[in-house]
Amino acid sequence: MNDEPTTERDQSRPPLFGSLGFLLLNLPIGIAGFVAIVALGSVGATTLIIWIGIPVLALLLVGMRAAARTERARVYSMLGAYVPLPYRTLPEGDQKARWKARIADQSTWRDMTYFVLLFPIGIAQFTILAVSWALSLGFIGLPVYYRFLPEGAYFFPSFDLRWITVDSELSALPWAALGLLCLALTIAITRALASAHVRFARLMLGPTPRQMREADNFVPFTPSVRASGPVAES
């Protein structure tokens, strides 16, 4: 496993706007990652018998590692959470041995699994954020834009079923107050989703507990040789 500096800037809570931007980007990134894995994986597997699939699958492997590194940087820059590199050191020697090490490294497959799962997770996150933020901001802004709606009023629950009619600023104020409560809940949901994604990213993109124990127990051997020769015992 690669050693990295321990200077982290983990925050107790992810920043709001960083969390919002990160979560909204998960959907397009998840789509791109899923499509790349399915396309390159299927093409590489079906053409493996004529050797064309080997460079295609190699491209997929290297591309997923590069994408995972970018994803760790995105988690760090937008959510303030550090995800260490989990990859084992590649052996010295020819490229064949190094490629075998990459394939045998479970972190390679965990990277790929992360982007496969990011697709449905991104859909769920995007849906929750879109609904909660639109509802909150819609209620807050109702005293301003109700007059621009059809017939100059807002009808709840629908235009045809008019249980409640909002046609003045005074009647819109309770809805604005409800919007503020919804906004506070939406902010909490946004940060909670971001914190959950940090844990998910560390689980899939970071070192396993076994790797962390091995790193803690590893003490490099650095013998010191004095120019004057061995030190006499007292």
Q: How many CA atoms lie within 13 A of 189 on its CB side?
A: 17
Closest CA to 102 of 71, 51, 59, 73: 59
Q: Nearest 5 degrees, angle CA 72-CA 44-CA 42? A: 85
**Token digits of residue 102:** 């990459």
Q: How far apart are CA 209 and CA 86, in angstroms?
A: 10
The string of pLDDT tens digits covering residues 26-74 is 999 999 999 999 999 999 998 888 888 889 999 999 999 999 999 999 9
Helices then strands, each counted (H, E), the chain: 7, 2
Residue segments in the chain with a per-residue pLDDT below the cut of 70: 1-12, 214-234
Residue 51 is predicted with a pLDDT of: 86
- In this structure, the number of other CB atoms found within 10 A of the CB of residue 62 comes to 13
Residue 110 is predicted with a pLDDT of: 95
The string of pLDDT tens digits covering residues 146-160 is 788 888 888 777 777
Query: Could you tell me the CA-to-CA distances from 63 to 33, 41, 191 in Å, in that order?
Result: 10, 12, 30
Residue with tokens 């994408």: 67
Helix (H) or strand (E) holding 190: helix 169-205
Residue 50 is predicted with a pLDDT of: 85
Q: Are 32 and 117 in contact (CB under 8 A)?
A: no
**Token digits of residue 81:** 């959470």
Residue 9 is predicted with a pLDDT of: 53
Asked whether the whole model's pTM tops 0.95, one would answer no
Residue 3 is predicted with a pLDDT of: 46
Residues pairing with 166 in the sheet: 154
* Cα diameter, the chain: 100
